[in-house]
Structure 1
Amino acid sequence: MSANNKTNVLSEAFIEDLFITCIEDSYILSMVCEHLEEEHLPDRNTAAVLKAFKDYYREYRRVPNYSIIQQKLAGKNGALRFWKEAYDNGEALATDECLGLLEEYLKRVEFQKTYKKAGEVYNREGLESAQQLLAKHVDWMRTFSLTESTYTDVIDTFTTRHIQNRAKNNSRGTIRAITRFYIDELDNLNQDRDLRGQLSCILAPTGVGKSHAARWIGSQACIDGFNVLHFQLEGSREEVENAYSAALVACNAYSYEKGFIKDKDMDAFTKELESIAGKLYVRSYPKFNQHVSTINIKEAIAEFRKNYGVKPDIILIDSMDLLNDSSGRKYGDSGERLKRIAVANDLKDIASEEEVWVVTTYQARIENPDWVNDEKNVLTEYSSSEAKGIAQPLTHLITLNQSANERREKTMRIHIAKSRFFPKGDTFKIATDYDHERFFDRQRTANL
């Protein structure tokens, strides 16, 4: 297709040119793999070709040739016919021209999707919700670019950027800010900053209570009126469901698990739960499943929204060290650090794209009991190999530290190893009550 005819980016001819460019231009291929999704394409044949490109690029990080894509499409007759026609008729585009056309294509397709969805939201939820959806799309259209300048003139754009910030804030005006960790010292330090779009990690050795900490945030946020989606990657579904049930009403976890709670108390707990405005959902994967990736997490969030008509406010993941990243790459033992960084970056993107607070746990492996029992020591990104690398994309790295003596006292030290919102380095002590699924026992903590 000649340059003079490229007026309709929604045409099949443009898709042909785009894919032909992908076998010659590695930068265009990387941008296509990052930004173009199968749902953006007009049919399953073009979507199959895109998947073939992505699968190859994910594994080899270089452009394929015609034959490689042809082999990957074996058995898909419609996709093979399209690919042959594209190869015969398509024409590779210049990099800048292709980026501009791809950007226009994405904006048009996203507009069509949003326009359709806005009508559905209007019929289901009313005018205000539809307006919020359209306002969010307008904000995305204003900021999305594949060809933006490397440099921004801060002075010349001062007023424009403030108007954009105001519009963005107004479009989110009805979205309630998430401001609490539900641990008093951390809440005081946070000073009501909104945690949406942020990624926080709780790092602790086995048995200290990182899962308790995650469930504490989840249960208290639910009681506070937020919608919580918890992904459990280790342990059984029943285990986490029972623990959350006890946490919501502060009953004895063992008694709930064994069914020992008296009927009168159960009636009182049921009535108490009726007053909770938030929702709490658990998605459990098989124990120690090494095949769950951040793609599964993202797909599950979309499935959750579709099935329940509820958008989560907080995503909890227990535990991040059992997640794989979205690249599908096999790192091996020597690449564990690179894998941790890739997973953390994926989760940071999810937090930003979904406008949620993502809280994850991570297991620290400390083999020296003397180091752990010395209460002058705390876990940091420097003293724990597991924390190296993941700290960079995190908003918060919070470590749980407990000596043998503190375990007997049911206390621990919380250390702020990293924070973008408030100073790092603080360490403070809290009391726990795990018998009643209370990670933070406010009364006992006040008396320490």
Structure 2
Amino acid sequence: MSTTSEDNRNSFAQFDRSFQEKIVQALLTDRQWAARMAEVLVVDYFEYAYLRQMSSKYLAYYRTYKEFPSLELFITVMKDELKAINDPALAEQIIGVIKNTKIKKDYGDLEYVKEAAMAFCRQRAFKNALMECAELVKSEDQYDRAVEIVQKAISSGQTYTPALSLEDDIDARYSETFRNVIRTNICVRSPDWDMIDGPSLDAKKILNGGSGSGELNVVIAPTGVGKSHWLTHVGAAALTQGKNVLHFTFELAERAVGVRYDSHLLGIDSLDCSERRAEIKQFYADNAGILGKLRVKYFPTGTATVQTLRAFINKLALENFRPDMLVIDYAQIMRSTEKYDLPRMELKKIFEELRAFAAELDLPIWTASQSNKEGAESDIISLANMAEAYAQAHICDFVVGLGRPESKKATGIGTLFIAKNRNGIDGLSYPIKIDTAKSRFSLLTEEESKRLTEDQEKEAQEEQTRVRQSFKRIMEKAGESGVQFASPRSE
């Protein structure tokens, strides 16, 4: 047997059932890669009926709406399809692939599969072309047709992504799933932390459902106001939606960040968490399979670049962990991949790289920015308060400011200001309750804000009254004892 024949057989064996299943898994988990593959992948390349059925439905949805369905929606589509087909064996095979995709089984293999998938398509296209040409070459007048088929097969690995058409892609522009949003859950809450009617950051007019894939979101605040607590809140909100979160921290220790997540999710003051470990363990046991997965990774301040983050994410892929959201605490203490003499140029580059990274990974990124010193005593934190580089704001998709002057820190009440918003209106401000003991934020209605302010003013007045009465009693006792206080000298 010739070496060439043996190599060809080995080449075909390389693309076995397992490899072809992982192509479908990669399609379901990486929308950007799937969009490129949609141009070259023909469902008949798959040897197995269940893979042809899945890829056919998935790609048909994309060609109709110019975007891919979420995994949850695709499961619903396939359920309806299987009911119509009524084939138990086919259903079992499809369910197996979806289950492996949901649990991210062998996720570390997918990067290799994505690299080799183009070769798979070229090989299958060429094989099909040769089989089609086998009969054509017997007829002299079919040579041109045979050459055309082979040339088409040779170019099958070249991708081309068309631009959006104003006339033809109306459904794609208005699809509700194209942003693949994750809610922030910054809204009005009851005393029991239940969501109630009222203002919400996820409202249609603001974030239109939440933070979208490929978007860079930033919270600006002075030091000590609660930037890190905010990032914990949005990360925990994603976990409650079953999303996987990767939280990078460049100041706080990993364990300290973990405690904040425990505190937020259970509604326990962070200082009490250590004494309530049994309750925390039981909470996670009860919610296994409901909450998403969290990974917290520390890098020393000023050492991490986007390349550092990318390398770590690739390592996590080997453990079958794929993040649905990145939380970065925080961008201003990262390094850019290029060296700049001016800090503002360095910061601008960091934000540009993070925005591109969000698009590359097709997920939302939340990070923070330190405000300048003028923001320390301001109720409203705007784009003008971004320290060092106003140009950072140009790159971000959503920027929210947190204002809480020193005089109001004890009240736990601040002001949330929507400074920039590409998905809705901006310039809005809301009173917000900041609970740093539990890393929780909730918007207040005007009535609540007014009532809390009145209660705090009443408390302050009562405290002043108590101090005056106490001082008066001290003076009276001193008078009874014959103690005399010297009068202040006039200048």
How far is the alpha carbon of 1:436 from its aligned partner?
Answer: 2.3
Can you list the C-alpha shifts for 1:194-231, whole angstroms capped at 9, x where unaligned?
61110001111110000000000001210111110000
In our comparison, the structure showing a higher alpha carbon Rg is 2
How many angstroms apart in 2 are the aligned matches of 1:389 and 1:117? 48
Measure the CA separation in 2 of the matches of 1:344 and 1:417.
Answer: 17
Partner of 2:214: 197
Q: Which residue of 2 aligns with 1:380?
A: 382
| Matching of residues 124-163 of structure 1 within 5 Å | 128-132=24-28, 136-137=32-33, 139-140=35-36, 157-158=165-166
Q: Which amino acid aligns with 1:274?
A: A
Deviation at residue 273 of structure 1 after TM alignment = 3.8
Shift in CA distance, 135/219, structure 1 to aligned 2, threshold 3 Å: closer
Query: 2:436 maps to which residue?
Result: 434
User: Using the alignment, how far apart are the partners of 1:281 and 1:262 within structure 2?
Assistant: 19
For 2:276, the equivalent position in structure 1 comes to 261
Give yes or no for contact 1:411–1:430 (8 Å, CA) kept in 2.
yes
Matched, 1:389 2:391: yes
Pairing partner for 1:316 from 316, 321, 327: 327
CA-based RMSD of the aligned residues comes to 3.8
Q: Determine the C-alpha separation between the residues in 2 that align with 1:351 and 1:384.
A: 21
Shift in alpha-carbon separation, 1:198–1:270, aligned structure 2, 3 A:
closer
CA separation of 1:130 and 1:302: change in aligned 2, threshold 3 A? closer
**Structure 1 residues 238 and 266, CA gap change in structure 2 (3 angstroms):** closer
Structure 1 CA distance for aligned equivalents of residues 290 and 442 of structure 2: 21
- Please report the TM-score for the alignment, with normalisation by the length of structure 2: 0.55
**Structure 1 residues 262 and 326: CA distance shift in structure 2, 3 A:** closer
CA, structure 1 residues 262+179, in 2 after alignment: closer, same or farther (shift >3 Å)? closer
Residues 138 and 249 (structure 1 numbering): CA distance in 2 closer, same or farther, change over 3 Å? closer
Structure 2 CA distance for partners of 1:262 and 1:243, relative to 1, 3 Å: closer
1:352-400 C-alpha deviation (Å, 9 max, x unpaired): 111110111112231x5xx64353xx22222433350101110011111
Partner residue of 2:257? Answer: 240
| TM-score for both structures, normalised by structure 1 | 0.60
In structure 2, C-alpha distance between the alignment counterparts of 1:342 and 1:143, rounded to whole Å = 33
8 A Cα contact 1:431 1:445, kept in partner: no
User: Quick one: distance in 2 between partners of 1:385 and 1:276?
Assistant: 39
The alpha carbon displacement at 1:182 in A equals 1.3
Asked if 1:300 is matched to 2:312, the reply is: yes
| Structure 2 portions without partners, runs of 5+ | 1-12, 41-157, 188-199, 450-491
Partner of residue 294, structure 2 = 280
Residue type at the aligned position of 2:321: V
Mapped to 2, the partners of 1:403 and 1:355 lie a distance apart of 37
Could you tell me which runs of 5 or more consecutive residues in structure 1 were left unpaired when the two chains were aligned. Answer: 1-114
Q: Distance in 1 between matches of 2:421 and 2:15?
A: 37
Distance 2:16 2:403 in 1: 48
SS in structure 1 at match of 2:423: coil
* In structure 2, distance between residues paired with 1:186 and 1:394: 17
1:418–1:131 CA distance, 2 compared to 1 (3 A): closer
- 1:421 matched to which residue of 2? 423
* Distance across 2 between alignment mates of 1:117 and 1:300: 29
State the shift of 1:291 in Å.
2.0
- Residue 184 of structure 2 corresponds to 181
The CA deviation at 1:147 is 13
Contact 1:325 1:339 in 2 (8 A): yes
Tell me, yes or no, if the aligned pair for 1:118 and 1:130 is still in contact at 8 Å.
no
Q: Is the 8 A contact 2:262 2:280 kept in 1?
A: no
**Which whole-Å CA distance do the structure 1 matches of 2:224 and 2:284 have between them?**
31
CA distance in 2 between counterparts of 1:302 and 1:315 reads 14
**Partner residue of 1:355?**
362
1:117: how far off? 9.3
The answer on whether the counterparts of 2:184 and 2:211 sit within 8 Å (CA) in structure 1 is: no
Aligned residue type for 2:261: Y
Structure 1 stretch displaced more, 115-124 or 384-393? 115-124
Alpha carbons 1:226, 1:313 under 8 Å: kept: yes
Amino acid at match of 1:251: I
* Contact 1:226/1:278, CA 8 A, preserved across alignment: yes
Distance 2:180 2:422 in 1: 17
Look up the match of 1:227.
244
